[in-house]
Chains A and B, each alone.
Chain A
């Protein structure tokens, strides 16, 4: 019963996450101007999606669990959107 090996998706996700980490640090040193921030946060989102889909097993879950998991992001979107509107539109 002790003959267990990690499944391929877990290992692939782990290696992918480390590769994305290397990529995001490398890109941070390239002079892309405003694109630097977009790249840093974009790669962060991809890493978070990998963790959520594979490590948190959301890819095996039905719509009910996905709605529960997305609820936090929904409220976060309202918080960030309404919270930053004033500052972004102030002249």
Chain B
């Protein structure tokens, strides 16, 4: 792209460029929906086959950390939505501060997840490494925890990518061409909100079942 031009030659206007970026992001999110969708399908298949074991295994997850992390992630998403809004009002310093706050909440989420994994290691709940579950429900419970670790680890990788993105944008706001950074931040925000939505469903599937019995 020539120096100073706000959009590349394949676009007719800034608006054209922005719309293309947003469509591209939604197509990428569709592929991500199917990536997590395959995992969720396997969850439902095995929950259907081992309903009691999935309830019993779910009761061994840490609802306190799970709920705290959900609140942390919802708040982080809120801060990113605010940062996008603030940037559109040209409040650069505020937008940067909001992104840094969202990234710190993301790191807090990862830290709590680490404590949770450590607890699960001590409680012999990690299939293949340290797993022991008393009673006839052990097979189904092991399947639950295989899903739990694959899904939450895959989600945590997405979190780390997102935290890197938020940090990058916090550093670049005010130092790059205004309309380009706004569009790029909008795409990054869509990604961060998607990671939030994935967690909303993982929370419902992992932490909530079997609490009342």
Contacts and interface: CB of A to CB of B under 8 A. Distances in A.
Q: Do A and B bind each other?
A: yes
Interface of A: 1-4, 6-7, 10, 13-14, 17-18, 21, 24-25, 28-32, 36-37, 40-41, 43-44, 47-48, 51-52, 54-56, 64-65, 68-69, 71-73, 75-76, 79-80, 83-84, 87-88
A34 B38 CA distance: 24
Given A25-B67, A71-B30, A72-B33, A48 B94 contact: no
Contacts, number: 137
B201 A79 contact: no
A84 B44 contact: yes
A90 to B, nearest CB: 9
B193 A56 contact: yes
B41 A51 contact: no
Interface of B is mostly: helix
Given A3-B91, A17-B74, A44-B203, A80 B212 contact: no
Interface of B: 19, 22-23, 26-27, 29-34, 37-38, 40-41, 44-45, 48-49, 63, 67, 70-71, 74-75, 77-78, 80-82, 85-86, 89-94, 189-190, 193-194, 196-197, 200-201, 203-205, 207-209, 211-213
A88 B31 CA distance: 26
A78 to B, nearest CB: 10
20 contacts: A4-B89, A6-B85, A7-B85, A10-B81, A21-B70, A24-B208, A28-B211, A29-B212, A37-B209, A52-B197, A54-B81, A55-B196, A56-B189, A56-B193, A64-B23, A65-B26, A69-B26, A75-B37, A84-B41, A87-B49
B72 to A, nearest CB: 11
A14 B26 contact: no
A79 B30 CA distance: 13
Contact of A28 (B26, B29, B92, B212): B212
Nearest to A66: B26
A1 B90 contact: yes
Given A10-B82, A14-B74, A43 B212 contact: no
Given A2-B93, A55-B196, 5 more contacts: A2-B94, A51-B197, A56-B194, A72-B26, A79-B37
Nearest to B190: A56
A54 B77 CA distance: 11
A25 B208 contact: yes
